[in-house]
Structure formats: structure tokens, C-alpha cells
Structure 1
Amino acid sequence: MSQTVAVLDIGKTNVKLALFDEGRLLWEQAAPNCIRSGPPYPHEDVESSWNFFLDALREAARSHQIGAIVPTAHGAAGALIGERELAAPVMDYEFTGVDEIEPDYVKLRPPFSVSLSPKLPAGLNLGRQLAYQKWRCPDLFAKARYFVGYPQYWTWRLTGVAVSEVTTLGAHTDLWVPRRGQISSLVEALDIDHLLPPLRRAFDPLGPIKPEIAAVTGLAPETRVFCGIHDSNASLLPYLVSRQAPFTVLSTGTWVILMSVGLSLDQLDPRDDTLANVDVLGRPIACGRFMGGREYAIIAGGSGNPDLDAMERVIASGAMALPCFSGQGGPYAKAKGVIRGEVAARDRPALATLYCALVSDLMLTHMGATGGDLIVEGTFAGNPLFCRTLGALRPTQRVFAAEDAAGTARGAAMLAQWPPSYHIAEPVPVDPISIAGLDSYRKAWTAAVDMIAR
């Protein structure tokens, strides 16, 4: 039975409300996601996001009959909640102050061979955030009744029901053992097992919205709210139900997350920032990640997609962008990004495109993802030259572009009817392309990158 699903999509850069009916985008509205400087540390401005969602739901409900709500949110965020409100602010994962606890934290975190969660900078390991909050903010921590992943914070806000969910617990948190499907030794070491509410599946309905939310928004009191999902895993859902392994999805936005379904976990290496995430059914998925969207913006210095002529001018000039421009993510996060050679301003987007394609190619190779289709979804799917360059770098694999900027939200909407009975739109195959000088350029770029100390 058809129903309109509202997705609360909380990204690192923007928050969005999107409405879907059997995979068709009906309506959407977005706003910037704000970070407050503190105290007690930089944190998500959840009240601004909450007010945005209430206003957007009210507006959407005037013209659409919404039957379900599904939250999805970026990783490396979670909420300590009390009886009725947050016990502590939701930490911004870019807060570097957590580094001060590293000498004590490293003694507790499980080894990579167990957690498949590499040591990441700042607060990108959610377990490190929790340790910091417990050790540096004990008064706030003592008020917590539960700790929930960020998607499940919004579920709790809508329903009052607190739950845990595996795609968030398994997203480089140090809190999960992917191969065993259970919490890690860190939970006991931090003595926080009592804070983890019962585990539910991302597609489980948890109850109707609170009466006061129905009154404020005009939504029907029986509107169902589903558990919710980590955003990169939401991007993966359409392909889990429509394709056979092996295949890799490049979920692109602020981050580029490379998720290889059907790939062995044996080649994962924490030095490469490769790891295992966990899919909606609890299965470990080999992944790599780098902050491609942010790096692209820094290198490009402007907007607009490049063309092939610009790409070939950059290659002919020998100019190179060498990692890392974001300070986090990928095999060379500790290196300081640099542009070697002269590049005209009009060609900077081509340089940025080439850089992101080369880093993606390098990470896929390190992961052992040499077979199966490559599907680009999100921001970079709207950059045809990125998709075609990736295809030229990896000629034995077919590249597809998901012509859909709402891929994360569309995937999350599927949870309201899982597995979906409706048709899943196929991504568009990318035509092969020959780029003059690309092979030689890649060899020179790889040699230059190999000189960078990790």
C-alpha cells in the first residue's frame, strides 16, 4: 500500500526534510546544519534542526498525507539523553580537544583486528567521544539515562522511545565487533553497558509520534516513526535489494564513503582508513573513506563542473594536488595538502575532480575492490567527468551514476516498507572515455603520493 514517507536527513553540512512515495521524491526543504562553539565543547545545534523539522513538517503536511517518518544522520555522533532532554550536547566530531584523553583511551580501545575500526582523528571514533564526556564532563554524564546513535536521537525526540541500532553502532565507533555482531570490550571498560538501550533494526517501527508533535505539525496522531539508519548505509539500501555482489557504492557528499559488498575484510588496513561498516541486516561491509567533498571544495575554489578539455590541460601541465586538504580521512590524513605547479583558476575544478578520482582509485585498489560494478551516488554523481575519469582509471569495472541528489534520503525512505515491493530505479551507465596522458599522470601522482609519510 502506497504511503508518503517523510525522511529527516541530518547531514554534516545540511539538514533536510524530504517526502517520498514508493521511491518518488515529492517534496523537500533544506537548511544549513549549524555547529555551536560551546560550552562545554563544540556541538550540534539540535534545537535549530528540531525547529526546522517542525516547521518543514507543518508545511509539508498541508499538501501531503504523511504516514511515516524515518530519520537518517551522519556518523560519529550520538546523544546522551536523560528523562526528557539531552543530558549533554551532541559533540561535533571535528572537536580536536578529545585528543587530550588519548593516552588513557588507547589503553581501553579494542585492537583493529577485533573492532575493524581504525584510530581516527578528533571525535570520529564515537567511543572516544563517550570517554571524553565521561572523564571530562562527569556532571553532565551522570545525568544520562541512555546513549543513542544520532539517527535514534531523532526517533527518541519524536516518540520518546530509546533504542540502539547496528548501522550506527558499527560505524567506526570502537563500540562494536562486526564479525561477531556484538558490543565490544570498550563498552564494559567504560562501564556504559547500562546506557545502551535495546537493539532494534533500522526498519522497525517504534511507535507513533508524540501527541504534542501531532498538534504542532498537523500530522496524524498515528503517524509511525521508524528506528532510522546511518546515512552512508541508507545510500547502500537501494543496491542491496537490486544488485548481486560484488559491487561497490561510492556515497559522496562531505565524505566519500566507498562500500564494497561481497568483498573480503582481509585487506582492510587502518593505515589506509579502510574499515568495516555494518549494513542494515548486521553484516560487515568493507569500506574506505576520505573527506572528498570538502577536499574538492578546497582545491576547486569555486563551483561548476569541469569539462574534458580542462582535465587534459591540467594533465598536460603536470600540476598535481597531493593529499590531504581536509586534515582527516583517507590514507594520508596527517599530510598537509599541497598543489604543485601552476593551475589557472578556471581549471581548478578539473584538478579537484582528478584528485578525488585518483584518491578513490587508490583506495579501491588498497581494499582489493578490483571486480564488480562501481555506483557513484550523491554529489559526485552530478559531476560527469568524475564518473568518467574513475571509469578510465578502472577500465575493467563498469561505472554507473545514480542521477539522484536525494540518494541517502531515498534509501532511508525504503525502511518504511522493507523490503520494498516497488521498482528501484537503476543508476545510469557511464560511457567509457579516453583521457590523453592519464596513465602517465597517474604513475607520476602515485609516485609523489608514495613519498608522503603516513
Structure 2
Amino acid sequence: MSLRTPVIAVFDIGKTNKKVFLWDTAFQIVFEKQQHFAEITDEDGFACEDLAALQQWIVDTFTELCQMPEFELIGLNFSAYGASFVYVDRTGEPVAPLYNYLKPVTSPFPYAEFGGEPEFARKTASPILGNLNSGLQVYGSTLKPFWPEVFQALHLPNYLASLFTGKFFSEITSIGCHTALWDFDQGQYHPWVSLIEDKLAPISSEPSLEIDGIHYGLGMHDSSAALVPYLRCISDDFVLLSTGTWCIAMHPFNESPLTSDELANDVLCYLQPNGKPVKASRLFGGHFHEEQVARMEKHFGGSFTDLKFSDEVYELKPKASSVFESAFASRDLHDFPDLASAYDQFMVDLVGQQIFSLNLLLKDAPVKQLLVDGGFSKNEWYMRLLAHAFSTLEVYAAEVAQASALGAALMVYAGETPKNLIQLKRY
């Protein structure tokens, strides 16, 4: 009888930090390691990921994991940032840099041939975002002079999986993240994709491949992967509000078509691993918080971490604003006697924007629970103000260890999902 612990390895590849985790079958982390790589530049001098260094680290680390005598590897998967393609030849070798999705577009896309920008954006659930609409990266590459012969274009998580499976597959969560590839009205590629479809790997109908007793995932877009533990463990309909630099609310039970008004207010759609849409609204909340707290601390001195929540906050009124700019930014700090009163008003303004953003999802599809994870789930103002505004919902601060990596691990595990993966605190 083997005394080795069965484990699933997941490489969680962010823009800044690269991590690897080993999960046991109770989904406790039994090993983790982190790495950071300096960016390099592409042929135009624009900063980009050092793909060769990333690939070498992953291969070397995987070899190291397989040689650990205390573990038996039963699964491998990847969660990674989206909107990034790797171009490979027939042998799977990259033939171009891993271009940065922030690089300006050089080849205009013929939106007018496909209904114009507003309708194109609505049908593909992809705000017009330049190279963040990663399908347009592939379109632009076909117009480049002296472009190398490309056999397949693979989204980053799907490319990383191919290093171990030797198979080229596209995977639905990577296709569905503001790529401009998917027609959400028809549930298939948008007609324009016929221009590049010969460069795209076929869409896999299965989430993993079994090779020599190991389940290899095909890779996942990290935001969609982070939703998987909640879908597995929460029985009631819910909205998940994942907070950080961006506050992204995901409503996997809202199947209403995306409207132009929603799109104009930064609502879009992702795809779940089962191919169903996830309507999502975005707010640059963490960035607003960092920016305005720095402004207040500079003006008043002191630190917001020393402040205490008071029920008097409920009496304050938020300042009306769009989701695209901080409502508090135009307030005069001289109107406040101290940091505490200014921070109270700031949080009321910020949560006011968050309430507006959430209501875009909830108006057509009410839910029973609002689950908040990430940095703001530990902010008393944020949580109490949300619970006050949505008094008919069960509002919880949720804590899941490494949600994106955990979701990717669950996708390659055939056993029963433990029910204690999510820690909830009700407000």
C-alpha cells in the first residue's frame, strides 16, 4: 500500500506573480512555490512576458514535483490571465513573442462589416478594448508582413497545458473572456472568426485528458476558474463579488441577453466551463480606494487603518457618478473636519457605485445570496454598507484559499467535492 499522498498540481499564472500549488484530495494546500520574472520586449520594443523563462520554470518545477517521494501526482491544470495568445508551429514551438494585451492596436478591425462597434460589442459581450479583445490580436497578426507561418494560436492557459499533453485545444473559458470571438446570441463563434478560424485550435468537449493515469486539464481563464468552487459548494442562486484592484461581480444565473445599456456601464459576459454565460459587472474599486486613501492621508495625516466603523455612516448620501471614475474624487477635502469623516463619506460613495454596478446584474435575475471575496470582504464599511443596501439578501464575506488555482484543480478531480472549501461570515 502506497504511503504517498495523491495530489493535483496547479500552476496559477498571473501577470506579476507565477505560483504553483499542490492540493491533496481534501483540497488542502500541501506545497506551494512562487516565482517572478522580469519582462522582456517584443520586436517593437513593447514590454511583454518572458515566455521562454516562464515555460522553462514550469517544466523544471513539474519535474521537481514528480520527483518528490511523498507525493503521487494524479492531476495537473493551469489557471492564467486571459487576452493573450501564443503562436506555435506544427511542433508546438512558439514562433512569436507573447504579446502584451496593453500594446496599442496597429491594424484597424472592420467593425462596419459586422454591424458596427456597438452591435459587435454587444453580440460578443466584449467592450471595444483594443488588444484586450484577444481575437483581434490574431486578426492583426494575419495582416503583418513577414509574419512567420503559424500552425495554431492558443490562449496562454491552453498553450501551457499543451506542453504536457502534446495536444492543441481551445477551451471555452478562455474563448469567453472579452475576446470578441464568441457570439453570445448564437452560442458559437461570431461569423467574423471565419477569417482566422484555421489558426484556432478546435474547442475541446472535455475539461481534461487522461494520460498514463494522470488527468491533464486544458487550462482555464483565471476569473472563470475562481467561480468553480462556489458553483460546486453553494446550492442557492448567488452573485459572487470578487474584490481587488477590480471588483468583478459574476452572476452565473443571469441568462438575459446583454443590452447596450449594460455594456455602456461595463457589464460583459464570461463563459463557465459548461459553456453557459456568466454575466459580470466591473468596477475599478480597489484602484479607487488606493488612490483616494492616499489623497486623504496626505491631506489629513494619519492612517485609515486606525479608524472605526460607526452606524452614523448609514445617514450619509453617496455622490452620483458613473462606474468609470471615483465619485469621491471631485469632493473637496476641506469640507471634512478629519480623516475619519472623509473616509466615511468616501466609502459611502464607493459602495454607492458598487450598488449601482450590482443592480445592473440583479434587476432581471434576483438571487438569494451575495458573496464577497477578496480584499474588501475584510473592510467593515464595505460589507456593512452592502448588507444595509441589500437587506433582502444574505450578504456574506467569503474566504476561499487561492480560488483560481482551486477551481482549476477541481476541474481535473473525479472524486466528490468537499463541502467545507468556503468559509462564510454573514453581515
TM over 0.5: yes
Deviation at 1:6, TM superposition (A): 0.9
Picking from 234, 239, 246, the partner of 2:237 is 246
CA contact (8 A) 1:388 1:430 kept: no
How far apart are the structure 1 equivalents of 2:187 and 2:377?
A: 32
**Within the alignment, does 1:78 sit opposite 2:85 as a pair?**
yes
- Provide, for residues 49-104 of structure 1, a one-character-per-residue CA deviation record: whole Å limited to 9, x for no partner: 33443454455453533322100112222222223322222222222x11x53463
SS at match of 1:286: strand
Q: Does 1:64 align with 2:71?
A: yes
Structure 1 residues 59 and 241: CA distance shift in structure 2, 3 A: same
From the superposition, tell whether residues 75 and 256 of structure 1 become closer, same or farther in structure 2 (CA, over 3 Å).
farther
TM-score (norm 1): 0.76
AA matched with 2:275: G
CA contact (8 A) 2:320 2:327 kept: no
Q: Is the 8 A contact 1:178 1:278 kept in 2?
A: no
Q: Is the 8 A contact 1:377 1:405 kept in 2?
A: no
Classify 1:26/1:322 alpha carbon distance in 2 versus 1 (closer, same or farther; 3 Å).
farther
* Consecutive unaligned residues in structure 1, runs of 5 or more: 209-221, 324-330, 433-454
Question: Could you tell me how far apart the structure 2 residues matched to 1:92 and 1:289 are?
Answer: 21
Q: Distance in 2 between matches of 1:64 and 1:406?
A: 20
Alignment of 1:20-419 (within 5 A): 20-22=23-25, 23-32=27-36, 34-40=38-44, 41-58=46-63, 60-61=65-66, 62=68, 63-82=70-89, 83-95=91-103, 97-98=104-105, 100-102=106-108, 104-105=110-111, 107-108=113-114, 111-112=119-120, 115-135=123-143, 137-140=144-147, 142-188=148-194, 191-201=195-205, 203-205=207-209, 207=211, 223-266=214-257, 268=259, 269-301=262-294, 306=305, 309=308, 331-332=323-324, 338-342=329-333, 357-367=351-361, 368=363, 370-418=366-414
Task: Show CA shifts across 1:197-254 (max 9, x none).
Answer: 221146222646xxxxxxxxxxxxx654211211111111122223345311123344
Is the Cα–Cα contact under 8 Å of residues 322 and 339 in structure 1 kept in the other structure? Answer: no
Q: How far did residue 364 of structure 1 move?
A: 1.1
Q: Work out the CA distance in 1 between the residues paired with 2:130 and 2:341.
A: 33
CA contact (8 A) 2:177 2:270 kept: yes
Residues in 2 aligned to 1:290 and 1:354: alpha-carbon distance in whole angstroms? 15
1:355 CA displacement: 5.6
* Contact kept? 2:77, 2:218, Cα under 8 Å: yes
Q: Secondary structure at the match of 2:324?
A: coil
Q: Give the C-alpha shift of residue 172 in structure 1.
A: 1.5
Task: Report if the CA contact (8 A) 1:117-1:276 is conserved.
Answer: yes
C-alpha spacing 1:431/1:283, structure 2 compared with 1 (3 Å): closer
TM superposition shift of 1:313: 9.4
- 2:132 maps to amino acid: L
Taking a change above 3 Å as real, the CA distance of residues 267 and 73 of structure 1, as seen in their structure-2 partners, is same
Instruction: Decide whether the 8 Å contact of 1:118 with 1:274 is kept in 2.
Output: no
Can you list the C-alpha shifts for 1:268-302, whole angstroms capped at 9, x where unaligned?
Answer: 42101212211111111211123444444333449
In the TM superposition, what is the alpha-carbon distance from 1:30 to its structure 2 partner? 2.1
Separation in 1, partners of 2:345, 2:72: 46
Cα offset for 1:315? 8.7
Number of residue pairs matched?
Answer: 403
| Aligned equivalents of 1:305, 1:205: Cα separation in 2 | 50
- Shift in Å, 1:158: 2.7
8 Å CA contact 2:13–2:80 kept in 1: the answer is yes
When residues 89 and 356 of structure 1 are mapped into structure 2, their CA distance, relative to the original with a 3 A threshold, is farther
Q: How does 1:423-442 map to 2 (within 5 A)?
A: 423-425=418-420, 427-432=422-427
Is the 8 Å Cα contact of residues 267 and 366 (structure 1) preserved in structure 2?
no
